Every structure is written in C-alpha cells, then in structure tokens.
Amino acid sequence: MLKNGFSIKHERREIVGDLTRLYVNAEGSSFIDVPTAEIEHFEAAPPEPVDPPAAARVPRTGALRPASSPTPAGFPQRPVTDLSQVVNEASGRYRLDPDLVNSVIKAESDFKVRAVSPKGAQGLMQLMPGTAAHLGVPNAFDPQANVEGGTRYLRELLERYNFDMVKALAAYNAGPQAVEHFQGVPPYYETKAYVARIVKDFNKKKIAQGKASVPKSNVAKSNSNGAKSNPTATARKNSKYTGTTVASAQGK
C-alpha cells in the first residue's frame, strides 16, 4: 500500500538502496522500483474474486450486502487503485509494453498521483493542461485517466517518429516542436538526462527478463554529444495502430 493511495500486488520484494523492488510475477522477470519512503505498509493480497453459481447470484428474499473488508489497525481506509492493473489495461489498449509505461511514470512523477512540475505538468504521467484537454482527460489527478491519456500520447508520439523511442521520449518531455526544430533530441540537459534515465530503466527490465528489447550494441545511450536515437524492437511490433496525432506541445 503506497502513501498516494495505490496498491501494487506483487509476489516478493527486496530492498535496493533507498528503493523497494516489487516483483509482480512469480518468475521475478518483471518488477517495479518504488521509493521505500513512499510505501505506507504491506498487507496480504485479497483472494481473486470467484463468480458464484448463477442460482446463487440473486437471493429469493432480501438483498445481497457486500462483505466489509477489515482495515489494518492504525491505517485509515482509503480508495485503492491497483497501479499494475491500470498500467496493464492502458498498455494493452494502445499496444505498448507496460514496462515502458512504468519507466515513464517513474521518471515523470516517481509514482506520485498529485505531482505538479514547476511548468504545470500534472499527475502520474505529468500531462500539461493543454495536452490533457486534447486527450480528453478532464482531471489529470485521476490516476486511471492520467495513465490512459499519457499512454495514448506516448503511442501517438511513437507513431509520429516511426517508432524511434528516443525521439518519442524526447518529444514527451520537451514537446514535438523542439524535436522537429533540432531534428532529433534537443540539446537540453534535462531532456537528454530524462531520455537516458527511461531507456536505462526500461532496458534493465528487459535484460532482467532475458530478452532485451534491442541488441546490446543498439541500446540508446546519452553522451556528451547528445542522445543516440535507436528504435526499439518492442515498439515496432505493434506499429499498425492508427490514432489522431496530438498537435499540442507537451513541453514540460
């Protein structure tokens, strides 16, 4: 249970520096790194719901009442959103790797639902108000709406740049106009560091799964001459999605 109201279901966990690594599958090949300070507590995951037999769904008399779930002592009850489920559902709709979406969320907001940047970007995937409006996100602090809009926008940027992940990430951070003006990653320290951070985190997950998304020699890296652009195999697999490109600059 995170302090921001999310819950992340996981099979096991370990401490890595000031982060807690949550392994979301039994094999340990997929994980999410969360700042330990942002974790409120741990509790046993509820059992998966089982549909009752048809005859038992509607009682002959009276009404069904939901069973109340006990709240751990000392912790106030709050709405719970399963971050893994939100990311997986949005990634499935826009045919993106959920590990990539998680890496973007980590770089953008460090999983803080109410994060606001100095320039006004909001929520988990740090949507600028104009971008959120174009994407149909009325409340950027709604976790599900924010991740839905941010994932859609990332997909549109990947299509716009022929599935070059580095250019798409640079546009997500600095705006498409900046990427097109400089014909690649803008020479901004913040943008180059942002792209390198996401690519490193994403490829770390892929390497942990034993199937890195690009050959080692092609992994995008940032150096003193700027970020190197290389499309990822994962992004290219799903290149048939068609959507309306959002013209407004994200420009955070």
- DSSP category for residue 122: B
Query: In the block, which residue shows the tokens 């096991």?
Result: 12
- DSSP category for residue 76: -
Q: Are 195 and 170 a contacting pair, CB within 8 Å?
A: yes
Choose the catalytic residue: 14, 27, 40, 108. Answer: 108
In sequence order, which residues have a C-beta less than 8 Å from that of residue 77 and are 6 or more positions away?
71
Residue 89 appears among annotated catalytic residues: no
Supply 21's token pair: 């690594």
Burial class (CB in 10 A: 0-12, 13-18, 19+), 150: buried
Dist. CA 185–CA 117, nearest whole Å:
21
Across the chain, the runs of DSSP E, i.e. the strands, are 6-7, 12-16, 19-23, 31-35, 81-82, 222-223, 226-227
Query: How would you classify residue 19: left for phi > 0, otherwise alpha for psi between -120 and 50, otherwise beta?
Result: beta
Q: Are 155 and 95 a contacting pair, CB within 8 Å?
A: yes
In sequence order, which residues have a C-beta less than 8 Å from that of residue 136 and are 6 or more positions away?
149
Q: Are 104 and 150 a contacting pair, CB within 8 Å?
A: yes
Dist. CA 251–CA 174, nearest whole Å:
4
Just list the catalytic residues.
108
